[in-house]
Chains A and B, each alone.
Chain A
């Protein structure tokens, strides 16, 4: 079935309803049991009067769970779209948002911020991690540039090398420096939403929304790129501009996501892959559908992370991997038959 605006709208409306359902369910789950009806009442009341939360339940829903769910949704969407973009750029369906080293750069940024004495819960960590990520992105970009063009194989090598170099520095710092805050970095490396608040959401929203928008507006170009760079040129597209766009915006979106919640694996790999298996590889549908499915998936995973072993919280990255890996194997096996 060929992608048409009608098909995109149908599929996306369906996933949007699913997203709303997942959000409502997630809002009602947790240490305090709050029914879905009550959740709706609180949300509607707040939306109408726009006042500060009323009562303990209002506080839990609006100040604790809602920001966390919105942030998880935003990060899930970001990672899924970044995955689509990197997979197209590298013409490899197994690429993920961390493949070019954004993760190690942001981790290094966070570790350094903790080492110079900034508190692990302050705004400094996301900022330092974002800077670390963007520096890595630029470094990899410059190493991967051959003449005026981006060479995807060189880019991939540059990403792998810079990534292992930074990981080595992180390991060195963790082993040499005795710092209690640093142990929190281990949690951060597996992904963590427990510090969510509305400020984080407002700060990363423009980067993520803008990045996804920019990538989506080049969706047909990405279709051509996966057919091969020379083919894309033969079909009239400006491949160098497209590659830079795909690389820069996907990295930006990933950096924004990683800076607020650490490294969450599997989302950027399995969401685009699953959506592709269901609806085909056309990026005009793949990108919006992955945005919504990625949001659903990460909200669901985070809900499990905070409820399954309550009051202990699991790192959300452990949940996405636990559910993601078997699901991925199932998809791969099913396709072979």
Chain B
């Protein structure tokens, strides 16, 4: 019961349109990736999807309800966001941070109850973070902190999770671990996932639907096989790539090609 319906939205900062006439429909339990070059409107689109900013034209519906008419707390009960990277200068413990996910359910002066602690602990065990529940969140490594933020998102008991380049600061081991976890939550908890990603290979590996943005418009939308093709990538990113298949999973895989031909490091040399 958690579908997202985006209808002809346009958004501008000052005079420059960042999102133009964009529509799509995501069904419950789907796993979507949003890719595109810098400045193509990926993060802006994400901010519109949880109501941080309102589009000047068009509308967004969550389960049939219009987003801009929903209360902030009601949005937070349906949609959780995992941020890209957050600087935190206050030493909250990980458990405290995860418990913050319960905020939309609590009254202003209400304290977390037994239920809230159980939900937070379950979220932490799903993300394998229980063992650092007492550590200050600002002392964790990047990968550990991202898992805490997923745990916080899960503690919101959302139906939709939005991710904003969640793995941009993680090494490849943690990237795969992160997306495996998200993918498992997508299957087992029936969560609708939308992730913004710079990494086309990760997106094509994990997402079932991909939106390729160019200049705030949808350039192409569909399965990874339909979107991740040499011609589209060249037109959108302006770079030559080779697309073949991941030999194990058969998802499309891109290989970057240098613009200037060179024999150094080429396989034939």
Contacts and interface: CB of A to CB of B under 8 A. Distances in A.
A124 B80 CA distance: 53
Nearest to A235: B103
Contact of B103 (A93, A228, A237): A237
Contact of A236 (B47, B72, B92, B112): B72
Interface residues of A, number: 29
A90 to B, nearest CB: 10
B77 interface: yes
A224 B89 CA distance: 13
Interface string A205-218: 00000000000011
A91 interface: yes
What is the interface of chain A mostly: helix, strand, loop, or mixed? loop
A276 interface: yes
A93 B156 CA distance: 28
A233 interface: yes
Contacts of B93: 2, 280
B37 interface: no
B103 A227 contact: no
Contact of A280 (B52, B92, B109): B92
Contacts, number: 85
B96 A282 contact: yes
Contacts of B88: 226-228
A234 B101 CA distance: 9
Interface of A: 2-5, 91-93, 217-218, 220-221, 223-224, 226-228, 230-231, 233-238, 276, 280-282, 284
B97 interface: yes
Contact of A230 (B83, B91, B103): B83
17 contacts: A92-B89, A217-B108, A217-B109, A220-B103, A220-B106, A230-B81, A231-B83, A233-B52, A234-B79, A234-B83, A235-B156, A276-B91, A280-B92, A280-B93, A282-B92, A282-B96, A284-B111
A223 B92 contact: yes
B45 to A, nearest CB: 15
